[in-house]
Structure 1
Amino acid sequence: MQQPLFISHYAMINALGRDNQSIKRNLLAGNQSGIVSNDTLLNEGPIFVGAVQGELPTLNDRAIEFQTRNNQLAALAIAQLADPIAELKQQYGAQRIAVIVGTSTSGIAQGEQAMKARHAQGEFPSEYHYQQQEMDNLAQFICSELGLQGIALTLSTACSSSAKAFATAQEMIASGLADAAIVGGVDSLCGMTVNGFSALASTSAGVSNPSSRNRDGINLGEAAALCIVQKQGRVKLLGVGESSDAHHMSAPHPQGEGAAAAMTAALNAASYQASDVDYVNLHGTATPKNDEMEAIAVATVFGKDTPCSSSKGMIGHTLGAAGATEVGLCWLLIGGSDYAPHIWDGQQDESLPAINLVAVGTQHPTKITTCLSNSFAFGGNNVSVLIGL
């Protein structure tokens, strides 16, 4: 029988805050103050995004290829995990700790700034290096910061990237290639994603409104979320379900077949029933097609009573960091009685199956012991992560 794995520590930075205590407090209050108007990212004018506030660590003394906003966000999370990682290195050795993380932007923002400078001045600025944009930059930076020498992978499957990292970490540890893993994801705001999603008519004109009849798209966001997966801890990594319905390059299967398959696979991996789950974190992008198919899928697997909500009206859609960020929000809820609220205008879309969208202040009768988090990506790449006590 496979030894159970645990998520022992979590570090997060997003539009709700820069530490777990602040993030949980603002999450439970339904705080949307981190969704702000930005007039520099979208070519056509201002757009609302989920931005990390405040100064970030300077990386001026690091190798030039590591000097990106993406890695500045990562550095904040790394600092919060420094002590437990040091203990793991002492226990297992630096070669036995894997780094499995996801991103979709890496240092693209630095490339955008460099191109503007090249157009204006005729050459790239001295602070730019093409390796800043490489997807594997994130994993390499984490290894460099923490002195790790084991397997290091960066996954990039769009919005499911850092959720898939949990499955890969499970496989690495089960196969004996690692004894523990740093798992997570980091994505930073940049013009490429904002303008790309705008071109797909997927961005909201205001603050996103998941599940509402008035929903009109997403707010892009930025975040870092890193955790430690190992063989001891409090919260178990119960199961990860993956599917690939490949219905369309950028649209989900309209009946949510891939989403339902991922949720069912996560339950089956843990030998759990749908009735064992206390809360479902929705992918909940507030795009018309995602919310429609996800309501169908959730109703199919869980029925209409299981409490659920989307956090994207408070943090934005953090793309490659979304999976790990939202598993992290579930991790904060485990053992307590408070549900993360669904923040929207309350205008129900009567064309969607009824699911139990919880309001601010909603509590479990005893305590939340099991949560499932959904991440659904372009190309029908679907991941559901089940965690619990």
Structure 2
Amino acid sequence: MEHTLFINHYAMVNALGGDNKTIKDNLLAGKQDGIAINEVLLNEGPIHVASVTLPLPDLSGKRIEFQTRNNQLASLALAQLRLPVEALIAKYGAHRIAVIVGTSTSGIAQGEQAMTQLNLTGEFPDNYCYQQQEMDNLSQFISSELKVSGLSMTLSTACSSSAKAFATAQELISNGLADAAIVGGVDSLCGMTVNGFHALASTSAGVCNPSSVNRDGINLGEAAALAIVSKESGSVKLLGVGESSDAHHMSAPHPAGEGASRAMQSALNHAGYSASRVDYINLHGTATPKNDEMEALAVADVFGCHVACSSSKGLIGHTLGAAGATEIGFCWLLLGGTDFAGHVWDGQRDSNLPPINLVPPGTQHSQPITTCLSNSFAFGGNNVSVLIGL
């Protein structure tokens, strides 16, 4: 039996800031300062990425396998959730609180640093162990930090990882396997992803330009986004999650957006909502030629060209395993207000794309925003759309 689930708390860290107020202010302002040139990550030279520049917690006193940048980002977000998690533990017990999170890099950056030292000195550094790179490291760290002992898992489906975490949490709670869940994702910048996407000719020569005729690829970013999903009544509901897997190609989406359309329609069906009830769509909007084309086709197919849309990739980069939860978090921040998150680009439309309603910064809705959809589309055609609302 399905229960109405609520997203009662949200904590985020990304290139826009480390707290909800700062992030919302910079999101609405269309601030792009967080995307800057990095001279280290790409083997072939400088590249634009969206780094977190805030001071991060010192984890040197933690277990060695938890000493990673990925977990530092997670720790900064977790600090904002400790009190509500303690209240849930007191009510339900630590064994009834699940941890369902996504990542694509885990502690790979520490492995890269360790290999560099091994090649130079013949020895690994003292503060390195292979467990830092394991995908389940993130969920283990969060469970340990929050002292919860319920089901704990890390999902890794590339760019849809942390959006899928909401689907899994919904299934666990609805089936009585947990009473609440810490849900979200964390991903940190590392050489593997930067050089990998560059090798696929998917990175932008400058700051990315979603939906533009001049778009040429992504900027990678890093982020943490963690939320509490539970049956505890609150203002924001997790209305529906739609998933599909079109498996069209290993690294390219279905050109007509068939899987993306199915995911969006499935989210609406799950909620029992019509397309006309959605006020805003946070696009996956990577600024790669194929993604933006197929997503515009899919949005036009399901919603037409009137609903307000924007991509946040031009502000925070593509945060991979953290992207889904981060952009659902942006929708969470918009609910109840009248301000849309604006689409930041050069304004040069691609005439081959359907003319979906890309709203500029400063655009306001005529009434409070009550329903938002967030899209996350991953390699292999793994598609997730999450619908939330008041």
Q: Give the TM-score of the pair, scaled to structure 2.
A: 0.99
> How far, CA to CA, are the matches of 1:149 and 1:360 in structure 2?
43
Instruction: State the Cα deviation string for residues 121-170 of structure 1 (Å, max 9, x = none).
Output: 00111110000000000000001101111100000000000000000000
- 2:369 equivalent to 1:373: no
> How far, CA to CA, are the matches of 2:55 and 2:116 in structure 1?
23
Instruction: State the Cα deviation string for residues 264-322 of structure 1 (Å, max 9, x = none).
Output: 00000000000000000000000000000000000000101000000000000000000
> How far, CA to CA, are the matches of 2:146 and 2:131 in structure 1?
20
- What secondary structure sits across from 1:73 in the alignment? helix
Q: What residue number does 2:23 align with? A: 23
> How far, CA to CA, are the matches of 2:184 and 2:360 in structure 1?
28
**8 Å contact kept, 2:100–2:139:** yes
> How far, CA to CA, are the matches of 2:171 and 2:155 in structure 1?
14
Amino acid at match of 2:71: N
> How far, CA to CA, are the matches of 1:106 and 1:304 in structure 2?
38
**TM-fit CA distance, 1:26:** 0.2
Q: What residue number does 1:350 align with? A: 351
> How far, CA to CA, are the matches of 1:174 and 1:47 in structure 2?
44
- What secondary structure sits across from 2:79 in the alignment? helix
Q: What residue number does 1:210 align with? A: 210
> How far, CA to CA, are the matches of 2:234 and 2:246 in structure 1?
34
Instruction: State the Cα deviation string for residues 17-54 of structure 1 (Å, max 9, x = none).
Output: 00000000000000000001001000000000011112
Q: What residue number does 2:174 align with? A: 174
Instruction: State the Cα deviation string for residues 310-350 of structure 1 (Å, max 9, x = none).
Output: 00000000000000000000000000000000000000101
> How far, CA to CA, are the matches of 2:15 and 2:257 in structure 1?
29
Q: How does 1:290-301 map to 2 (within 5 A)?
A: 290-301=291-302
Q: What residue number does 2:57 align with? A: 57
**TM-fit CA distance, 1:210:** 0.1
Which runs of 5 or more residues in structure 1 are unaligned? none
Q: What residue number does 1:201 align with? A: 201
Which runs of 5 or more residues in structure 2 are unaligned? none
> How far, CA to CA, are the matches of 1:233 and 1:372 in structure 2?
19
RMSD over aligned CA atoms reads: 0.5
> How far, CA to CA, are the matches of 2:296 and 2:2 in structure 1?
33
> How far, CA to CA, are the matches of 2:51 and 2:299 in structure 1?
29
- What secondary structure sits across from 1:76 in the alignment? helix
- 2:256 equivalent to 1:255: yes
> How far, CA to CA, are the matches of 1:34 and 1:374 in structure 2?
22
> How far, CA to CA, are the matches of 1:53 and 1:123 in structure 2?
30
**TM-fit CA distance, 1:237:** 0.1
**8 Å contact kept, 2:35–2:51:** yes
Q: What residue number does 1:107 align with? A: 107
> How far, CA to CA, are the matches of 1:129 and 1:234 in structure 2?
43
**TM-fit CA distance, 1:2:** 2.5
Q: How does 1:1-389 map to 2 (within 5 A)?
A: 2-231=2-231, 232-389=233-390
> How far, CA to CA, are the matches of 1:370 and 1:26 in structure 2?
21
Q: Give the TM-score of the pair, scaled to structure 1.
A: 1.00
- What secondary structure sits across from 1:387 in the alignment? strand
> How far, CA to CA, are the matches of 2:30 and 2:66 in structure 1?
34
Amino acid at match of 2:137: N
> How far, CA to CA, are the matches of 1:385 and 1:306 in structure 2?
16
**8 Å contact kept, 2:343–2:359:** yes
**8 Å contact kept, 2:277–2:371:** yes
- What secondary structure sits across from 1:280 in the alignment? strand
**8 Å contact kept, 2:2–2:175:** no
**TM-fit CA distance, 1:87:** 0.3
Amino acid at match of 1:249: M
Amino acid at match of 2:139: A
Amino acid at match of 1:74: A
Amino acid at match of 1:383: V
- What secondary structure sits across from 1:309 in the alignment? strand
> How far, CA to CA, are the matches of 2:92 and 2:235 in structure 1?
20
> How far, CA to CA, are the matches of 1:170 and 1:126 in structure 2?
41
> How far, CA to CA, are the matches of 1:366 and 1:55 in structure 2?
38
> How far, CA to CA, are the matches of 1:289 and 1:269 in structure 2?
28
> How far, CA to CA, are the matches of 1:124 and 1:361 in structure 2?
51
Instruction: State the Cα deviation string for residues 238-262 of structure 1 (Å, max 9, x = none).
Output: 0000000000000000000000000
Identity over the aligned pairs, expressed in percent? 75
- What secondary structure sits across from 1:384 in the alignment? strand
> How far, CA to CA, are the matches of 2:82 and 2:181 in structure 1?
14
> How far, CA to CA, are the matches of 1:341 and 1:168 in structure 2?
30
Amino acid at match of 1:106: S
